Structure 1
Amino acid sequence: MGEIIDGYKFEQRHGKSRVRVARVWRSQEDGVHLFAEWSVDVSLLSDCVSAYVDADNSGIVATDTMKNTVYVKAKECSEQVSMEEFAIVLAKHFTSFYQQVTTAIVKIVEKPWERCYINGQPHKHGFKLGSEKHTTEVVLTKSGALRVTSGIEGLSLLKTTQSGFEGFVRDKNTILPETRERMLATEVSASWRYPFESLASIPVKRLYFTKMYLDVKNVLAETFFGPPNKGVYSPSVQATLYQMGKAVLGRFPDVSFIQLKMPNIHFLPVNLSSKDNPVIVKFEDDVYLPTDEPHGTIEASLSRTMSKL
């Protein structure tokens, strides 16, 4: 909500972005190390209008303090936590410690470090960088109202068959042929919202959000590919996107809303010919030109009819 100042509606917030922090947890029992790297954004809605209109900084929480708080709270997490839990810890601190702060918004992106396996054995302290990123946004007000959103970015999926596109609108500018045999590739970005409306409503389960993230990611991939021995046909990216969102809501009662963005990354059939040689390369569903752009953009969201958005 804005305030009327000098005849203008005025809204403000301030925060610290891209605070990078890495945390190692070392087991004293078996010597196994756990590791996480996060990029944290903190944004505060607070009563500090006087800093803007009167040059009075007495109500401002310095953004440098926010940065330092991220490191302090990471140190205080003596046991491994999911990044959603860490975001909640930060949001709870800022809304409870500072009287003038009415709402804290904490966004985190986790870098996809994965444990290394050497000769089939998990390394105790070795990690390699993966691909897709885990994201979260936590919004917490001083009154205790809570909203938790998790997501995934850069989940690259590709299948070499069982994809087609037919029956679409054709006009004088349409040259795309209809097909029941093409490659389907995309880079999924998904975000899903939990129904928890207060801190007390969050399940008391260790690494609950981490498990949910892994489970949702698996369901998205399983629905895209179909059974490993026979797959599943995709009549369009739109149809596959809908089935993926529907599968997540059907499998997880704790997800109330999901949004999916799935660019159609094209692999174009290659046919090469010349005047002297009419068939240099003849496409037989085997040689493609990979492209990054332009690409199709398809997105949609699904929510339970009774969920509060």
Structure 2
Amino acid sequence: MAVNAEGFSFEQRHGKERVRVGRVWKNRAGRHFFVEWNVSINLLSDCAAAYLRDDNSDIVATDTMKNTVYVKAKECSEHISMEDFAIVLAKHFTSFYHQVTTAIVKIVEKPWERVYIDGQLHEHGFKLGSEKHTTEAIVKKSGALQLTSGIEGLALLKTTKSGFEGFIRDQYTALPETRERVLATEITAAWRYSYESLSSVPQKPHYFTERYLDVKKVLVDTFYGPPKEGVYSPSVQNTLYLMAKSVLNRFLDISSIQLKMPNIHFLPVNLKNKDNQTIVKFADDVFLPTDEPHGSIQASLSRSWSKM
């Protein structure tokens, strides 16, 4: 909320970034559950006096925010989803401090996965996976909620069933048209839930963890198509849209989704010199992997009533 400061419009927020916490839960059967979270907190609060008049009496210290993360992690005696933990933190700051009007909590989960030994899930062994689970909870003192979840670093590749044709050609165009290429990307996705208040959030344990896994599966399945025949992609743009539409069609509690899908190029190798333009012409079997420059494709898809 902006305030008038000597004829200027002044807005502020403060918080704590990159609070790292690991949490282990142990059930009665002896199985351990482990998460590693990187937590960022920002508070919108009535503490303008600290900036304008050298008065710190309304400031929640950022060190206190850090300590609160560990205390609340300890208080969660049962294995909890990352989204629910973000809501727990944000609700604490808005309810405990009368100065705080809004709390914004972002969390990135490091992808520790339970290992298999001799075909069985290990009770307390974990290995580091790849893509990361993300969330952001914005909670107002009134109980209003904005909840977003997402994925970072979901790397997908298929070796066929991809092309790119019919695009604009001009004097600067060198790219040949093709119906046969490698399609590779590293997806960043964010989806907004339709829950708009703390009281409307599902109380089912691990609801959001299960929803995250379900959304990831829909994205992956749509990208690849059926395991035997696959599905043809005429462009990254079209594949992105079909993936976003599949998520909204499948999950009615998701109001919008944003996808970023860089086109990571694998260039067919063609050895040549000034005397011979084709020393060796490889037939879509040997490629030069590149990660820069790469195409940048992104879009969002929302239901008509979504506020994202």
Residue of structure 1 in register with 2:111 after alignment: 112
Q: Cα deviation per residue 1:167-195 (whole Å; 9 max; x = unaligned)?
A: 00000110100000000000000000001
CA distance, structure 2, for counterparts of residue 271 and residue 45 of structure 1? 57
Query: How do 1:189-228 and structure 2 match up within 5 A?
Result: 189-228=188-227
Aligned-pair distance for 1:207?
0.4
Q: TM-score, normalised by structure 2?
A: 0.98
Q: Secondary structure at the match of 2:73?
A: helix
Count of aligned pairs between the two proteins: 308
Letter of the 1:210 partner, please give it.
Answer: T
TM-aligned CA distance change 1:196 to 1:275, over 3 Å: closer
- Identity %, equivalent residues: 73
Q: Cα deviation per residue 1:88-142 (whole Å; 9 max; x = unaligned)?
A: 0000100000010000000000000000111211111110001100000000000
Query: How do 1:14-93 and structure 2 match up within 5 A?
Result: 14-28=14-28, 30-93=29-92
CA distance, structure 2, for counterparts of residue 193 and residue 277 of structure 1? 55
Which segments of 5 or more consecutive residues in structure 1 lack a partner in the other structure?
none
CA RMSD of aligned residues (A): 1.1
Letter of the 2:19 partner, please give it.
Answer: V
CA distance, structure 2, for counterparts of residue 285 and residue 254 of structure 1? 42
Work out whether 1:257 is the aligned partner of 2:259: no
Residue of structure 1 in register with 2:157 after alignment: 158
Residue of structure 2 in register with 1:234 after alignment: 233
CA distance, structure 1, for counterparts of residue 140 and residue 174 of structure 2? 53
Aligned-pair distance for 1:31?
1.1
CA distance, structure 1, for counterparts of residue 158 and residue 279 of structure 2? 26
Aligned-pair distance for 1:273?
2.9
Aligned-pair distance for 1:145?
0.7
CA distance, structure 2, for counterparts of residue 39 and residue 211 of structure 1? 20
Work out whether 1:178 is the aligned partner of 2:177: yes
Q: TM-score, normalised by structure 1?
A: 0.98
Letter of the 1:10 partner, please give it.
Answer: F
Query: How do 1:271-282 and structure 2 match up within 5 A?
Result: 271-274=270-273, 279-282=278-281
Letter of the 2:235 partner, please give it.
Answer: S
Residue of structure 1 in register with 2:5 after alignment: 5
CA distance, structure 2, for counterparts of residue 161 and residue 170 of structure 1? 24
CA distance, structure 1, for counterparts of residue 304 and residue 102 of structure 2? 27
Which segments of 5 or more consecutive residues in structure 2 lack a partner in the other structure?
none
Q: Secondary structure at the match of 1:15?
A: strand
Work out whether 1:133 is the aligned partner of 2:137: no
TM-aligned CA distance change 1:64 to 1:279, over 3 Å: same
Letter of the 1:232 partner, please give it.
Answer: V
Letter of the 2:145 partner, please give it.
Answer: L
Residue of structure 1 in register with 2:242 after alignment: 243
